[in-house]
């Protein structure tokens, strides 16, 4: 029996949700290239596509959008706010988010519907929980931002799109059209990515017929790590260490000599630049133009880092990944660095729930095996017996 570290190349499921070709830098959701979705779709439409398999027609989209905007789904119970008030304000927002998502099921009972006929979940429950969980995510992230500052949370608004409402709740001002389009595109770009680590967590948890809020909580815990979604926050802190564009090459040589990873670079699947990094970079350029040429000075450092890294790391197939440019955009949109990964989680909830729905429709509990490297059975030493 061969053990493959990190399960590299080992299929863990069959799925029709997304596809990627890491040599060509191609990513599709249900067959649609990510570049087209980022340009023409909305997060609401893309979420429906991921969850249901086809683009919605006008009525389906209107109904889904109305449910996502409905206060019943966009608001969370006051008790969740009370839970947040007990959390340490210097804790990481991913921990606050995981705690609150995990608690959601206690306020919205019905978990017995997970096994309505003893095995399969009741489909109405699945649809309701998908909408409730997806709609609550942005509220929870923004709510924690205000609670940790000692302020009252900003109530969600039903007249705003998902992206607009999120930026409105975070920044207490309505975003302009360019900012909201950029946020919307970021949500689309991060929504799904085949069997990445957090989606795998969601599959494993879902395969036990755990309720969806706990499936998402498991995935949030996995996304938090710096080798996965947590890298986006670290990229900005890393760029802070580089004093100027001219200092990039020496800084990088030193970092590689010290065997430190460059955050926001490298990917198990892509051996070329992540197509999402290209699109995010384009969005940064768009924002720069919109702001009259002004954007973070770190953008120039990031671009030089990409150039220098290409000379040193391309031979290993290491290029910028989705986490490299996203934080620069979020920072320019007024979002604190430790909230970058929670935004990733908001968006990826669409993909996690799509996989959850697919998993429970073809379920078999995950239970892999191991290559045992421990002792053969041996006698318990008598001197310890009494
Ligand atoms: C949303 C996402 O999850 S995207 C990924 C976000 N994570 C990061 O940005 C963290 C930095 N990147 C990494 O740590 C890795 O590239 C991972 C975890 C993403 C992928 O890991 P793996 O597929 O196991 O790649 P692996 O570690 O085998 O790398 C292959 C080679 O490239 C090197 N390499 C990979 N990523 C990097 C990096 N970011 N910086 C420097 N070298 C790197 C490795 O050191 C290794 O070199 P070697 O062959 O000389 O030993
Ligand atoms: O696919 C992966 O391993 C990580 C990733 O890029 C993502 O989850 O978006």
The mean pLDDT of 370-384, rounded to a whole number, is 91
The mean pLDDT of 64-75, rounded to a whole number, is 97
User: 319 pLDDT exceeds 60?
Assistant: yes
* Confidence band for 230, pLDDT divided at 50, 70 and 90: very high
Question: Mind listing the pLDDT tens digit for each residue in 350-359?
Answer: 999 999 999 9
Looking at the fold, whether 58 and 207 belong to one and the same domain comes out as yes
User: 348 pLDDT exceeds 90?
Assistant: yes
User: 386 pLDDT exceeds 80?
Assistant: no
Looking at the fold, whether 276 and 215 belong to one and the same domain comes out as no
* Confidence band for 293, pLDDT divided at 50, 70 and 90: confident
Looking at the fold, whether 70 and 188 belong to one and the same domain comes out as yes
Looking at the fold, whether 60 and 145 belong to one and the same domain comes out as yes
Catalytic residue among 65, 190, 323, 355: 323
pLDDT value at position 62?
Answer: 98
Cα angle value 47/48/49 (rounded, 5°): 90
Whether 347 is covered by a domain: the verdict is: yes
CATH number at residue 162: 1.10.580.10
Catalytic residue among 267, 274, 278, 338: 267
Looking at the fold, whether 306 and 353 belong to one and the same domain comes out as no
Looking at the fold, whether 279 and 188 belong to one and the same domain comes out as no
Whether 51 is covered by a domain: the verdict is: yes
* Confidence band for 385, pLDDT divided at 50, 70 and 90: low
CATH number at residue 309: 1.10.230.10
Question: Mind listing the pLDDT tens digit for each residue in 258-291?
Answer: 999 999 999 999 999 999 999 999 999 999 999 9
Burial class (CB in 10 A: 0-12, 13-18, 19+), 60: middle
Whether 241 is covered by a domain: the verdict is: yes
- In angstroms, the CA 337 to CA 355 distance is 28
373 CA to centre of ligand 2 in angstroms: 30
Q: Which atom of ligand 1 is nearest to the CA of 316?
A: 32
Which of 38, 188, 197 for mutating ligand 2's site (highest number of atoms within 8 Å of CB)?
197
Is 267 annotated in the active site?
A: yes
Is 21 annotated in the active site?
A: no
Q: Look at ligand 2, atom 9, and give the residue with the nearest C-alpha.
A: 193
- In angstroms, the CA 312 to CA 322 distance is 19
Question: Mind listing the pLDDT tens digit for each residue in 47-56?
Answer: 999 999 999 9
- In angstroms, the CA 303 to CA 314 distance is 15
Pocket flag, ligand 2, residue 268 (CB < 6 Å): yes
User: 251 pLDDT exceeds 90?
Assistant: yes
Looking at the fold, whether 113 and 239 belong to one and the same domain comes out as no
Q: Which atom of ligand 2 is nearest to the CA of 20?
A: 1
Which of 266, 325, 351 for mutating ligand 1's site (highest number of atoms within 8 Å of CB)?
266
pLDDT value at position 384?
Answer: 62
Report the chain's mean pLDDT, rounded to a whole number: 96
User: 139 pLDDT exceeds 70?
Assistant: yes
CA distances from 118 to 112, 114, 121, 122, 173 (A): 9, 9, 8, 10, 48
pLDDT value at position 383?
Answer: 76
Q: How many domains does the chain have?
A: 2
pLDDT value at position 107?
Answer: 87
Whether 374 is covered by a domain: the verdict is: no
319 CA to centre of ligand 1 in angstroms: 9
308 CA to centre of ligand 1 in angstroms: 17
* Confidence band for 191, pLDDT divided at 50, 70 and 90: very high
Looking at the fold, whether 192 and 246 belong to one and the same domain comes out as no
- What the block records as the tokens of 34 is 């990510």
Domain membership of residue 141 as a residue range? 15-226+337-361
pLDDT value at position 87?
Answer: 97
3-state SS, the chain, equals CCCCHHHCCCCCCCCCCEEEECCCCEEEECCEEHHHHHHHCCHHHHHHHHHHCCCCCHHHHHHHHHHHHCHHHHCCCHHHHHHHHCCCCCCCHHHHHHHHHHHHHHHCCCHHHHHCCCCCCCHHHHHHHHHHHHHHHHHHHHHHHHHHCCCCCCCCCCCCCHHHHHHHHHHCCCCCHHHHHHHHHHHHHCCCCCCCHHHHHHHHHHHCCCCHHHHHHHHHHHHCCCCCCCHHHHHHHHHHCCCCHHHHHHHHHHHHHCCCCCCCECCCCCCCCCHHHHHHHHHHHHHHHHCCCCCCCHHHHHHHHHHHHHHHHHHHCCCECHHHHHHHHHHHCCCCHHHHHHHHHHHHHHHHHHHHHHHHHCCCCCCCCCCCCCCCCCCCCHHHCC
Which of 7, 20, 261 for mutating ligand 1's site (highest number of atoms within 8 Å of CB)?
261
Question: Mind listing the pLDDT tens digit for each residue in 92-112?
Answer: 999 999 999 999 989 887 778
pLDDT above 90 covers a percentage of the chain that reads 91
């Amino acid at each position: 029996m061969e053990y493959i570290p990190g399960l590299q190349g080992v299929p863990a499921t069959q799925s029709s949700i997304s596809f990627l070709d890491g040599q060509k830098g191609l990513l599709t959701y249900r067959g649609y290239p990510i570049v087209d979705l980022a340009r023409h779709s909305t997060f609401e439409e893309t979420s429906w596509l991921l969850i249901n398999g086809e683009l919605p027609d006008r009525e389906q989209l209107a109904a889904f959008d109305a449910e996502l905007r409905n206060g019943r789904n966009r608001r969370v119970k006051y008790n969740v706010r009370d839970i947040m008030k007990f959390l340490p304000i210097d804790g990481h927002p991913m921990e606050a988010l995981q705690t609150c998502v995990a608690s959601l099921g206690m306020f919205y009972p019905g978990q017995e519907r997970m096994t309505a006929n003893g095995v399969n979940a009741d489909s109405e429950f699945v649809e309701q929980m998908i909408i409730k969980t997806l709609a609550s995510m942005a509220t929870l992230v923004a709510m924690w931002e205000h609670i940790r500052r000692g302020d009252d949370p900003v109530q969600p608004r039903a007249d705003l799109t998902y992206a607009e409402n999120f930026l409105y709740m975070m920044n207490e001002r309505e975003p302009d059209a360019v900012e909201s389009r950029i946020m919307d595109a970021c949500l689309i770009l991060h929504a799904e990515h085949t069997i990445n680590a957090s989606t795998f967590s969601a599959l494993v948890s879902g395969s036990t017929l755990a309720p969806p809020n706990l499936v998402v909580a498991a995935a949030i815990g996995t996304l938090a790590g710096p080798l996965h979604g947590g890298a986006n926050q670290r990229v900005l802190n890393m760029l802070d260490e580089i004093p100027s564009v001219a200092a990039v090459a020496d800084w990088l040589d030193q970092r590689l000599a010290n065997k430190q990873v460059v955050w926001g670079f490298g990917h198990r699947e892509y051996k070329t630049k992540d197509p999402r990094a290209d699109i995010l970079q384009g969005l940064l350029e768009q924002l720069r133009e919109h702001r009259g040429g002004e954007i973070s000075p770190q953008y120039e450092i990031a671009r030089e880092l990409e150039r220098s890294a290409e000379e040193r790391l391309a031979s290993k197939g290491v290029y910028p990944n989705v986490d490299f440019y996203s934080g620069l955009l979020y920072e320019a949109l007024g979002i604190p660095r430790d909230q970058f990964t929670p935004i990733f989680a908001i968006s990826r909830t669409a993909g996690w729930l799509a996989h959850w729905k697919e998993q429970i429709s073809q379920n078999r509990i995950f239970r892999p095996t191991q290559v045992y490297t421990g002792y053969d059975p041996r006698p318990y030493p008598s001197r310890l017996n009494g």
